[in-house]
Amino acid sequence: MRNFLRLVRELKAYWKIMVLIAILTVITAGLGLPGPLIVAHLIDSLYKHNPINLFLVFLALVGIAAGTGLVGYCLTFAVTYLGQQFKMEMRRRLYSHMQTLSLGYFEKNQIGKMMSNITNDVATLDQLISGSFVRLMQDSATLIGVLVIVFIKDWKLALVALSVSPFYVANYLLHIGHIKKAADDVREERDIMLGDLQEKLAGAMVVKSYAKERTEVRQFVGQTRNLLDLNVDLSMLGTRLWTIAEFIGSGCGVALIIWYGGREVMMNRLSPGNLVAFISFITGYMYGPILRLIQLNDQFARTNAALNRIFGTLDTEPNIQNKPAAKVMPDIKGHVEYKHVWFEYEPGQPVLKDINLDIKPGMMVAFVGQSGSGKTTMINLLSRHYDVTDGAILVDGYDLRDVTIDSLRKQVGVVIQETILFNTSIRENIRYGKLDATNEEVEDAARAANIAHVIEALPKGYDTLIGEAGIKLSGGEKQRIAIARAILSDPRILVLDEATSSLDSETESLIQEALDHLMKGRTSFVVAHRLSTIVASDLIVVMEKGVIREAGSHLELLQQGGIYASLYNQQFKVALESREAEGVKL
């Protein structure tokens, strides 16, 4: 219920159009009523051979229809306007809110679920607003109008007509529990099927390399067959409900009216015309609205789930927020300090323990360590995707939490291991780093990332589409485009998280050249497994289980003979031995 109150509040901005809709609805419902009455009058006149102006009857009927058409047009327009506006606004808000949420949110939630939040849940809401709300108003107005008229005309006949409605309602209530359960079963089975389908299609490569196609098809058939049975059950229940409803409403209702109404006519208590009007009122205008009113309940339940999810998203507070007094960080030099930094993703499980580091502007720092040692966390904290649990990170003396997130991230360029490019042209992808970059700047960046020659060899050059509709790039090519993108954004602090791991040594050395050039004058953070890429660092930080174990230059660390030295020897032992074996002169 609280959800609906909140929804009403959300709708407040649209109160003018809603009032208009209410008025139009009542008019539409009202326009439905005179038709049968006019016909009744016509029939009675004919019956009693009274004179009647037939042209007027014709005009009235056509006029009412024209009115209904016109008002209906306005009504639909208003309702569509309301629904679509609301949908658009909700989607905008959800999307822009999601954009403000921290990375942790996206790691926890599945893409499909977030998408369906924006698409399906909002659509469900729209069905409630532009479908059920309007129908509710229209049905209530119609029902009240019809009841008033039939009770005035012949209250006994009205009571007779209404006498079947309890059975009508009871039939509905008896079925609905079973239907709901069946629908839940269908939904559950469907979700299982969808989940599996999604995974197996995304993993087509694995399915194929193990030649498991037939097994997968067999399993899928099993699932869809279950779904088939459940769906047939569900549709049978629905059919039973509606068949009985039709029998009670149209069958028994009409039979009763003709029987009792006929008696009334014969006793001269009712005119034949009114009897005909009664039949059309009761069959056309009464049972339908009664049933739809009961059904609303169900609709509300379904919408409530959607509302929960929508408001749940909107209420999720970003973990990382600008402080009210956050300042815009001016252009920085790139002096980074970690001061007693502690961090934990899950309470009680520190990933970083009391980290202290002082990185001067322009320095290149390399992080070395086993997976899970905290290297990536170190740099995630620097971009402020997470806030430190304890301690502080300072950039040029500013505590990261005291400056606006935008002004920080604009000066930190990140190239990550998993290359994400968008389905647009190569040019647009590179330009993503600086939206107002000229074509020349884009091409310069491509050149610096050693990818220009590859792009220029393509028939459409920089305008080549990549991704689904375009060409396929190799992992190394993608990575270099991502690097060009980062180069273009010209950050003061550069973060390379395994940025070159999918490049072979030759390309890597080409790119290393570009990167060396790029890193000059910038503070850079590098995470790499391959020691050969990091030996040139000013500072190598060896991490283990969230603690800095060693820090120093390559030579210093080798002399210390600690973890780094043993890692190093391990990686080069084979090569060195083979060199020896080959008798290469040293």
Partner 1 sequence: MSNFRRLLGYLRPYRYRVFLAVFLMFMVTLTALPLPRIIQFVIDRVLPHHMWHTLNWIFWIIIGIYLFRGIVSFSLNYLIGWLGQRVVFDLRFHSYRHLNRLSLSYYDQRQTGKIMARAVDDINVIQYMITGGFVTLITDMLTLVLVIPVIFLMNVKLALIAMAVVPIYVFNYKLFLKKIRPLSVEIRKSWDALIGTLQEKISGITVVKAFVRENYETEQFIKTIRLNYDLQMTQATLNRILAATATIIRAVGTGLVYWIGAKLVGVHTLKVGELVAFTGYIGYLYDPALRLVDFNVQAQWAGASMDRVFEVLDTRPEITDAPNAKSMTNLKGSVTFRHVSFGYSRDNQALIDINLDVQPGEVIAIVGPSGAGKTTLVNLIARFYDATEGAILIDGVDIRQIRLESVRRQIGYVSQESLLFSVSLAENIRYGRNDATREQIIQAAKNADLHDFIMTLPDGYDTKIGEEGIKLSVGQKQRMAIARATLTNPRILILDDATSALDSKTEANVQAALEKLMKGRTNFVIAHRLATIMNADRIVVMDKGRIVDIGTHAELVAREGVYQNLYNEQFKSAQDEALAELLG
Residues 286-315 that bind partner 1 (CB under 8 A): none
Burial class (CB in 10 A: 0-12, 13-18, 19+), 176: middle
Contact (CB, 8 A) for 248 and 164: yes
**112 near partner 1, rule: CB under 8 A:** yes
Contact (CB, 8 A) for 241 and 179: yes
Q: For residue 488, what is the enclosing H or E element?
A: helix 475-489
- Of 307-315, 356-364, 395-403, 470-478, the window that binds partner 1 (rule: CB under 8 A) is 470-478
**333 near partner 1, rule: CB under 8 A:** no
**252 near partner 1, rule: CB under 8 A:** yes
Residues 358-417 that bind partner 1 (CB under 8 A): 369-372, 383, 385, 405-406, 409-410, 412-414, 416-417
CB neighbour list of residue 266: distance below 8 Å, 6 or more residues apart? none
- Of 55-63, 141-149, 304-312, 389-397, the window that binds partner 1 (rule: CB under 8 A) is 55-63
Residues 264-283 that bind partner 1 (CB under 8 A): 265-266, 272, 275-276, 279
Q: Angle at the Cα of 35 (from 32 to 41), degrees rounded to 5?
A: 150
Helix (H, G, I), strand (E, B) or coil at 553: coil
Tell me the number of residues near partner 1 by CB under 8 A.
170
Nearer to partner 1, 91 or 447 (CB): 91
- Of 19-27, 176-184, 297-305, 561-569, the window that binds partner 1 (rule: CB under 8 A) is 561-569
**476 near partner 1, rule: CB under 8 A:** yes
What is the C-alpha radius of gyration for the chain, rounded to an integer number of angstroms? 36
Nearer to partner 1, 4 or 58 (CB): 58
Half-sphere exposure of 96 (CA within 13 A, CB side): 5
- Of 68-76, 293-301, 334-342, 388-396, the window that binds partner 1 (rule: CB under 8 A) is 68-76
Nearer to partner 1, 20 or 293 (CB): 20
Q: How far apart are CA 436 and CA 426, in angstroms?
A: 15
Among positions 85, 295, 316, 464, the unique one binding partner 1 when judged by CB under 8 A: 85
**345 near partner 1, rule: CB under 8 A:** no
**353 near partner 1, rule: CB under 8 A:** no
In the chain the first and final C-alpha atoms are separated, in Å, by 81
**98 near partner 1, rule: CB under 8 A:** yes
Among positions 153, 335, 427, 485, the unique one binding partner 1 when judged by CB under 8 A: 485
Cross-strand partners of 337:
358, 394
Among positions 66, 144, 174, 301, the unique one binding partner 1 when judged by CB under 8 A: 66
Residue tagged 């559950």 (tokens)? 188
Closest Cα partner for 290 from 487, 142, 497?
Answer: 142
Q: How far apart are CA 278 and CA 37, in angstroms?
A: 9
**84 near partner 1, rule: CB under 8 A:** yes
Residues 410-439 that bind partner 1 (CB under 8 A): 410, 412-414, 416-418, 420, 422-423, 432-433, 435
Nearer to partner 1, 5 or 266 (CB): 266
Smallest distance from partner 1 to CB 362, Å: 20
Residue 491 φ/ψ, nearest 5 degrees: -80, 160
**131 near partner 1, rule: CB under 8 A:** no
Q: Residue 27: how many CB atoms within 10 A of its CB?
A: 17
Nearer to partner 1, 3 or 127 (CB): 127
**335 near partner 1, rule: CB under 8 A:** no
**62 near partner 1, rule: CB under 8 A:** yes
Smallest distance from partner 1 to CB 83, Å: 9
The DSSP code sequence of 222-242 is HHHHHHHHHHHHHHHHHHHHH
Residues 486-545 that bind partner 1 (CB under 8 A): 489, 498, 501-509, 529-532, 535-536
Among positions 300, 311, 342, 568, the unique one binding partner 1 when judged by CB under 8 A: 568
Among positions 151, 167, 220, 342, the unique one binding partner 1 when judged by CB under 8 A: 220
**115 near partner 1, rule: CB under 8 A:** yes
Smallest distance from partner 1 to CB 494, Å: 11
Nearer to partner 1, 340 or 579 (CB): 579
**Residues constituting the chain:** 586
Nearer to partner 1, 169 or 293 (CB): 169
Nearer to partner 1, 299 or 376 (CB): 376
Q: How far apart are CA 386 and CA 557, in angstroms?
A: 30
Counting other chains too, the contacts that 528-532 makes at CB distance below 8 Å and 24 or more residues apart are 528/366, 528/368, 528/496, 528/498, 528/499, 528/500, 528/501, 529/498, 529/501, 530/500, 530/501, 530/571, 531/368, 531/567, 531/568, 531/571, 531/572, 532/505
Among positions 8, 13, 103, 144, the unique one binding partner 1 when judged by CB under 8 A: 103
Helix (H, G, I), strand (E, B) or coil at 145: helix
